[in-house]
């Protein structure tokens, strides 16, 4: 697969003619090429988006909606094809891509295509003296930058509301997983979006992402990725007064009380720990268990984790596929070594796995459970972003809250208890943007999504996204 940039409605090579290898993580083999785009390509893309903005922003909401709905229908028809491409590019089980990633990308388009039809303006009436009305207008050219863990899911989470609100877009998917954004550009072309409304640039963060967020004609940045990258982008945005939303890393606590529904909790905790090889920003990586349940929990958790099958992503029997890259696998395994040095006990896993035959060069590892660490160690403070969890006991509600909040991150948390009042109390006291009580990863696209502390700035989702991708303008009319 030779990937091309999509600029001004045309598939183009990078101007420098250079490419990066695209690696299939399930085999470790090169299977394609990705443009190594630079500032010249970004300038071309931003210029085309700028040219397209006046007419796109002036189209009626229903016309913009119909383009997005057509794109959703096309994607729906090719769900299986996209799921296979996502699984090959990322290493995630095909079953997960089919059930979660691609359906959610379709939902993103449908949700924002229809949400825009129900938008209305606000009026603040001042009686007989006058009134205010508030217009919400698109900003212009916006930059959407997404990571590799949920490639099309997060790419569309940004471009769908940006386009629905009337902006034109330059989007950059992760260079580690560019395939589905590329094949989406083929569908965008087929649907016939006006030229320049959506431009997709491929390449590395420093070569293509940085010039994009720095470009003077880009007025808004929507970024999902690591906290260190987010900090860098935030500095650029601040110096240039750009509107910004940052969805960053996490180290989410999973707080388990002994009065929970044990079987449901165990099944869900296995998922919240190891789905997508633990490479979901919302995975619960610090498991806190009430001390009177600790031994029973650990035994059952290990027993259920042992049942997970690690295998080729395309095999329907695989629960875990491969880690996204060799570098990332090495980083995760280095944290297992660190945990041991810090006094942790590997209760299960912690190993690199080599499959047979054509998959022998793939990047596989076992799900890993570590105990006996306290909250201050690096293993518990730094984001690992892999199939590694730590398990710690707590003896009171207050201690659970303290441990949960002992982190520089604050993205999500999960609470397990059948005591309704306690559940609400804990939810209220944990510093995080998203809390699940007796569940995990239940997503309603209308709800605000994002984190606190170093997990991000701002919220996207539902009307939060439509507000973020528009600028309010208040107009006062004097009647006196
Ligand atoms: P990353 O920060 O390395 O890269 C994310 C994107 O930013 C990529 O497209 C990359 O090319 C681009 N980029 C890198 N440097 C850049 C720069 N200087 N300027 C502009 N763009 C640049 O993150 P990643 O490794 O792809 O993703 C994993 C991280 O994403 C984890 O920390 C995870 O927690 C986080 N994440 C957060 C959420 C959330 O909703 N909060 C969701 C998914 C992933």
Q: pLDDT digit string (tens) for 416-453?
A: 999 999 999 999 999 999 999 999 999 999 999 999 99
- Strand, coil or helix: 29: strand
The alpha carbon of 327 and the centre of ligand 1 are apart by a number of angstroms equal to 15
Q: What is the pLDDT of residue 106?
A: 98
- Kindly give the number of the ligand 1 atom that is closest to the alpha carbon of 147: 26
- What average pLDDT does the segment 85-98 reach? 98
- CB of 274 closer than 6 angstroms to any ligand 1 atom: no
Does the annotation mark 281 as catalytic? Answer: yes
Question: How far is the C-alpha of 82 from the C-alpha of 94, rounded, in Å?
Answer: 10
- CB of 319 closer than 6 angstroms to any ligand 1 atom: no
- CB of 260 closer than 6 angstroms to any ligand 1 atom: no
Domain(s) labelled CATH 3.40.605.10 in the chain stretch across: 5-248+455-478
The alpha carbon of 157 and the centre of ligand 1 are apart by a number of angstroms equal to 14
- Kindly give the number of the ligand 1 atom that is closest to the alpha carbon of 175: 11
Name residue 169's beta-bridge partners: 142, 198
The alpha carbon of 395 and the centre of ligand 1 are apart by a number of angstroms equal to 36
- Mean pLDDT computed over every residue of the chain: 98
Q: Whose CA is closest to 310, among 269, 277, 262, 263?
A: 277
pLDDT band of 97, cuts 50, 70, 90: very high
- CB of 250 closer than 6 angstroms to any ligand 1 atom: yes
Question: Above pLDDT 70, what percent of the chain?
Answer: 100
Atom 15 of ligand 1, nearest CA residue: 205
Q: What is the pLDDT of residue 470?
A: 98
Q: Catalytic one among 86, 247, 383, 464?
A: 247
The alpha carbon of 45 and the centre of ligand 1 are apart by a number of angstroms equal to 21
Q: What is the pLDDT of residue 69?
A: 98
- CB of 19 closer than 6 angstroms to any ligand 1 atom: no
Atom 20 of ligand 1, nearest CA residue: 209
Q: What is the pLDDT of residue 278?
A: 98
Q: What is the pLDDT of residue 342?
A: 98
Q: What is the pLDDT of residue 422?
A: 98
pLDDT band of 328, cuts 50, 70, 90: very high
Q: pLDDT digit string (tens) for 117-130?
A: 999 999 999 999 99
Domain(s) labelled CATH 3.40.309.10 in the chain stretch across: 252-445
Tell how far CA 377 is from the center of its chain: 26
pLDDT band of 147, cuts 50, 70, 90: very high
pTM (2 d.p.): 0.98
Token digits for 184?
């989406």
Q: pLDDT digit string (tens) for 406-418?
A: 999 999 999 999 9
Q: What is the pLDDT of residue 167?
A: 98
Question: How far is the C-alpha of 230 from the C-alpha of 238, rounded, in Å?
Answer: 12
pLDDT band of 8, cuts 50, 70, 90: very high
- What average pLDDT does the segment 157-177 reach? 98
Atom 22 of ligand 1, nearest CA residue: 205
The alpha carbon of 160 and the centre of ligand 1 are apart by a number of angstroms equal to 19
The alpha carbon of 147 and the centre of ligand 1 are apart by a number of angstroms equal to 4
Eight-class DSSP state of 193:
P
- CB of 367 closer than 6 angstroms to any ligand 1 atom: no
Assigned CATH topology for domain 252-445: Aldehyde Dehydrogenase; Chain A, domain 2 (3.40.309)
- What average pLDDT does the segment 78-88 reach? 98
- CB of 210 closer than 6 angstroms to any ligand 1 atom: yes
CA dist list (Å): 432 to 153, 167, 336, 347, 405: 22, 30, 26, 28, 9
Of the residues 176, 226, 388, 408, which should be mutated to test ligand 1's pocket, given the most ligand atoms within 8 Å of the CB?
226
b/e for 211-249, b at 16 or more Cβ within 10 A? bbbbbeebbbbbbbbbbebbebbbeebeeeebbbbbbbb
The alpha carbon of 90 and the centre of ligand 1 are apart by a number of angstroms equal to 15
Q: What is the pLDDT of residue 380?
A: 98
Q: Catalytic one among 175, 281, 290, 460?
A: 281
The alpha carbon of 123 and the centre of ligand 1 are apart by a number of angstroms equal to 39
The alpha carbon of 204 and the centre of ligand 1 are apart by a number of angstroms equal to 11
Q: What is the pLDDT of residue 229?
A: 98
Angle at 164 between CA 160 and CA 168, to 5 degrees: 85
Tell how far CA 72 is from the center of its chain: 19
- CB of 196 closer than 6 angstroms to any ligand 1 atom: no
- CB of 207 closer than 6 angstroms to any ligand 1 atom: no
- What average pLDDT does the segment 329-338 reach? 98
Atom 37 of ligand 1, nearest CA residue: 248
Q: pLDDT digit string (tens) for 249-305?
A: 999 999 999 999 999 999 999 999 999 999 999 999 999 999 999 999 999 999 999
Q: What is the pLDDT of residue 35?
A: 98
- Please give the torsion angle defined by the CA atoms of residues 411, 415, 419 and 422, in that order, rounded to the nearest 10 degrees: -40
Token digits for 465?
């996204």
- Kindly give the number of the ligand 1 atom that is closest to the alpha carbon of 145: 9
Backbone angles phi, psi at 334, to 5 degrees: -65, -30
Q: What is the pLDDT of residue 223?
A: 98
Does the annotation mark 283 as catalytic? Answer: no
- CB of 157 closer than 6 angstroms to any ligand 1 atom: no
- CB of 145 closer than 6 angstroms to any ligand 1 atom: yes
- What average pLDDT does the segment 133-152 reach? 98
- CB of 21 closer than 6 angstroms to any ligand 1 atom: no
Question: How far is the C-alpha of 222 from the C-alpha of 468, rounded, in Å?
Answer: 9
- What average pLDDT does the segment 373-381 reach? 98
Atom 35 of ligand 1, nearest CA residue: 225
Q: Which CATH class is domain 5-248+455-478?
A: alpha beta
């Amino acid at each position: 697969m030779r990937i091309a940039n999509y600029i001004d409605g045309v598939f183009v090579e990078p101007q420098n003619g250079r490419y990066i290898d695209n690696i299939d993580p399930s085999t470790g083999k090169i299977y394609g090429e990705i443009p190594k785009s630079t500032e010249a390509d970004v300038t071309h893309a931003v210029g085309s988006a700028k040219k397209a903005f006046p007419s796109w922003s002036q189209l009626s909401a229903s016309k913009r909606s119909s383009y997005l709905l057509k794109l959703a229908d096309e994607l729906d028809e090719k769900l299986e094809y996209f799921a296979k491409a996502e699984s090959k590019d990322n290493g995630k089980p095909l079953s997960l891509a089919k059930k979660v990633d691609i359906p959610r990308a379709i939902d993103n388009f449908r949700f924002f295509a229809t949400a825009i039809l129900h938008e209305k303006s606000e009026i603040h009436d001042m009686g007989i003296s006058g009134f205010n009305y508030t217009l919400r207008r698109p900003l212009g050219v916006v930059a959407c930058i997404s990571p590799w863990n949920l490639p099309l899911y997060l790419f569309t989470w940004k471009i769908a509301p940006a386009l629905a609100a009337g902006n034109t877009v330059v989007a950059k998917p992760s260079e580690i997983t560019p395939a589905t954004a590329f094949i989406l550009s083929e569908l965008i072309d087929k649907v016939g979006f006006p030229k320049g409304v959506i431009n997709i640039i491929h390449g590395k963060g420093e070569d293509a992402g940085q010039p994009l967020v720095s470009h003077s004609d880009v007025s808004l940045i929507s970024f999902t990725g690591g906290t260190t990258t987010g900090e860098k982008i935030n500095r650029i945005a601040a110096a240039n007064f750009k509107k910004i939303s940052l969805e960053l890393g996490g180290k989410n606590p999973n707080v388990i009380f002994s009065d929970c529904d044990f079987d449901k909790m165990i099944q869900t905790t296995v998922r919240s720990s190891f789905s997508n090889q633990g490479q979901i920003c919302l995975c619960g990586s610090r498991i806190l268990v009430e001390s009177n349940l600790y031994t029973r929990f650990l035994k059952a958790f290990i027993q259920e984790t042992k049942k997970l099958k690690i295998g080729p992503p395309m095999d329907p029997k695989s629960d875990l596929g491969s880690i996204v890259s060799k570098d990332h696998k090495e980083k995760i395994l280095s944290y297992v070594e660190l945990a041991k040095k810090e006094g942790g006990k590997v209760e299960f896993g912690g190993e690199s796995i080599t499959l047979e035959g054509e998959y022998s060069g793939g990047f596989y590892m076992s799900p890993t459970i570590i105990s006996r660490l306290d909250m201050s160690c690096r293993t518990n403070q730094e984001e690992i972003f892999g199939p590694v969890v730590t398990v710690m006991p707590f003896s009171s509600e207050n201690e659970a809250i303290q441990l949960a909040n002992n982190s520089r991150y604050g993205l999500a948390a999960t609470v397990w208890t059948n005591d309704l009042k306690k559940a609400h109390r804990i939810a209220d006291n944990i510093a995080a943007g998203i809390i699940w009580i007796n569940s995990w990863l239940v997503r309603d696209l209308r709800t605000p999504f994002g984190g606190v502390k170093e997990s991000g700035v701002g919220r996207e989702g539902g009307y939060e996204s439509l507000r973020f991708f528009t600028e309010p303008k208040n107009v006062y009319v004097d009647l006196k």
